[in-house]
Structure 1
C-alpha cells in the first residue's frame, strides 16, 4: 500500500539527521537558516555533529537519530544534512513497522538512496530524492530551482519536467507510465543480493552519479542489466552524471557509448539530461509517486508526493 506523507505548513518542525557522513558545519548553518526562512522550526539530531571516521557517529547513534525523528510526533519531516557513506550500515536495524505507523516526509539523495529504497519497499512510504542541506543548500552558488524544489513539501505539485527547463534527449522513443524509483547508480548496485534489492518491475528507473569514471559506470550498468533491472523496468531516466570523465585510462568509451550498449539495447522508453542528483540545479522528485515518461515529447510528469 502506497503512503503519501502529509505536507508541511509554516510553523511546523522538521528534524535534521546525518545518517551517513558528517556535514560541513558552516554550510549546514547556512542551510538551517534557509529552512527557518521557509517558516520551519529545526530540530537537530544528536549525532549530526559527531564524527566516527568517515561516519557521523557510530551506527547506533545515526540509527537512533532516524528513529527519534520518526517517533517524535512534533516532527513533520526528516531531512538529511548530507550523503557520503554509511546508510546501508543501519538498514537492517531500522524499525520499518514504526516508520510505517509514523509516516512523514523523508528527504535526501546520493548515499541516502539506500534508505529511500529500503524505506519505500518495506513501508510503501513515498520519499523525496532531493537536495540536501550541507551538500547543496548551504553552498554560496545554490541554484534558485534547487531551492524551489522544497516547495513540493508545502503544496501538492504535479511536476512537469520538459526540455525548456533543462536540455533533454530522447534515448529510446515511446511513452510509458509507472512508479518512480531509483537514485544513485553506485548505491543501487549495492542493494543487489540484499533484502533491500531495488525492485524495478513496471517502474520508471532513475539513475545518476558523480565522479565515477566511464569504465566504472559501464561495470555498474552491466551489473544492473545482468540482474534484470533494465528488462523489468517500464522506462529509464538517465539523470546527471557529473564529472564522470576518464582519469586513470586515457582511452575510454564515452558515456553515450555506454548508455547505447546498456539502455538503448533494452528498447524501453528512455530520456536523458534531467538535472536530478549531483547537479545544479538539483531538482527534487518524489520516489514512489506515479509518473508518465514521454520520450517522444521529451517530457516527464510526476504526481504530487504529499497528501
Structure 2
C-alpha cells in the first residue's frame, strides 16, 4: 500500500544529504538559500561535504546520514543535494523498516533513481523525482519553473503537465493508467538482477538520461525490453535525454533507438517531457496514480503528499 508523506509548511526543517557524489559547493550554497526563501530551515548531513573519490564520503557514512534524517522527528523532508554515482552501493545496507516507520518527503533524481526504486518497492513510500539543490536549483540562472515545482510539497495538488511547456510527441497511440515509476535509464538498467529490480507491471514508466550515446541508450533499452520491463508497463513516458548524441559518424539517432523499442513494446508512449537533466525540470511523485493519453497528449499525476 502506498504511503504518502505529510505536506510541508513554512518553518519546517528539512535535511540536505548527498547519498551519491559530492555536490558543487557554490551551487549548493545557492540551493540552501532557496530553501530559506521557501520558509524552510535545514539540517545538513554529516557527509555532505565529504569527498571519497567520486563519492560524498564512504558508504557507511552516507547510509548513516540517510538513517539519521529519517529517524529524526524534527526533520520533515529529505532533499538530495545532487546525484552523480553511489546510491546503488548503499541500497543493500539501508534499513528500510526505519524508512517505513518514519515516512517523510524524499526528493531527488538522476543517480537517486536507485533509491526511489528501492524505497518504494521495500516500503511503499511515495518519493519525488525532481530538481536538486546543487545540480539544478543552485546553478546560475536556474529556471523559475524548476523552483516552482517544489510548491507541490506544501499543498496537495494533482499535476497536469502543461503541453505548451514542451513539444509532446506521440510514439505509440493509446491511453494508459497506473502508478508512475522510473527515472534515470542507466540506474533502471543497473537495477536488473538485483533485489531492487524495477517493477513496471501495470505502471507508467518514465525514462530519462544524460550524456549517453544512442548505442548506450540502445543497450539499456534492449536490456529492459528483453527483461519484459517495457512490455509490462501500462504506458511509457520519455523525459529529457540531454546530450545523448553520437560520438561517431556511423550511428543510429536517439530518435531511431527510442522509436524502435517503444514500438516493439507496443505500449502507449509519449516523448518530450521536461523531466530529467533539463531546464526547466518538472518534479513528479513516484508511486502515485497517473494517467496518460497520446491523442490529447495529456499527463495527469495524483498529488504525492497528504
Common fold by TM > 0.5: yes
CA distance in 2, matches of 1:21, 1:170: 35
CA distance in 2, matches of 1:56, 1:161: 34
CA distance in 2, matches of 1:22, 1:257: 35
Give 2:300's aligned residue. Answer: 301
Runs of 5+ unmatched residues, structure 2 = none
> Is 1:112 aligned to residue 119 of structure 2?
no
Give 1:281's aligned residue. Answer: 280
CA distance in 2, matches of 1:251, 1:163: 34
User: Following superposition of structure 1 onto structure 2, how do residues 80-159 of structure 1 map, counting pairs within 5 Å?
Assistant: 80-159=80-159
CA distance in 1, matches of 2:145, 2:259: 30
Write the deviation string for residues 237-268 of structure 1: whole angstroms up to 9, x where unpaired: 01100000011x21111111111210022221
Shift in Å, 1:192: 0.2
> Given the two structures, how large is their TM-score scaled by the length of structure 1?
0.99
Give 1:192's aligned residue. Answer: 192
CA distance in 1, matches of 2:173, 2:162: 15
> Is 1:39 aligned to residue 39 of structure 2?
yes
- Cα pair 1:162 1:168 within 8 Å, conserved: no
SS at match of 2:285: strand
- Cα pair 2:5 2:304 within 8 Å, conserved: yes
CA distance in 2, matches of 1:13, 1:283: 23
Give 1:245's aligned residue. Answer: 245
Residue-pair matches, total = 306
Mean alpha-carbon deviation: is it higher for 197-206 or for 255-264? 255-264
Write the deviation string for residues 108-163 of structure 1: whole angstroms up to 9, x where unpaired: 00000000000000000000000000000001111111000100110111110132
Q: Aligned-pair RMSD on alpha carbons?
A: 0.6
> Given the two structures, how large is their TM-score scaled by the length of structure 2?
0.99
Write the deviation string for residues 7-49 of structure 1: whole angstroms up to 9, x where unpaired: 1000000000000000011110110000011000010000001
SS at match of 2:115: helix
Give 1:14's aligned residue. Answer: 14
- Cα pair 1:15 1:78 within 8 Å, conserved: yes
Runs of 5+ unmatched residues, structure 1 = none
Instruction: Point out 4+ residue stretches in structure 1 off by more than 4 angstroms.
Output: none
Write the deviation string for residues 244-298 of structure 1: whole angstroms up to 9, x where unpaired: 0011x21111111111210022221111000001011111000001000111100
- Cα pair 2:225 2:265 within 8 Å, conserved: no
User: Following superposition of structure 1 onto structure 2, how do residues 176-187 of structure 1 map, counting pairs within 5 Å?
Assistant: 176-187=176-187
- Cα pair 1:59 1:90 within 8 Å, conserved: yes
Give 1:254's aligned residue. Answer: 253
SS at match of 1:279: coil
